[in-house]
Amino acid sequence: MHPTAFSRTFVTDLTGNLIVTLVNEVLSHGKNIISWNTSGLNPGIYLIVLKQGNKTQSLKTIKIE
């Protein structure tokens, strides 16, 4: 990803519905830690998507009770 660039990190379900936006701001170069409280989330499979510049990365995650 680009150093010190506008970043958007969000979670969707597998049908593409937005669940929550975790980050929507400029992040500095290096390691950034994002916390996500899933206590109100139903068990299932979700995608965590990071967009920065013209790059997109996604990670599949599973919520288990």
Give tens-digit pLDDT for 19-51: 999 999 888 878 888 899 999 999 999 999 999
| Single pTM value for the model | 0.83
Q: Are 56 and 50 in contact (CB under 8 A)?
A: yes
Among 2-11, 18-27, 51-60, whose mean pLDDT is lowest?
2-11
Q: Are 52 and 6 in contact (CB under 8 A)?
A: yes
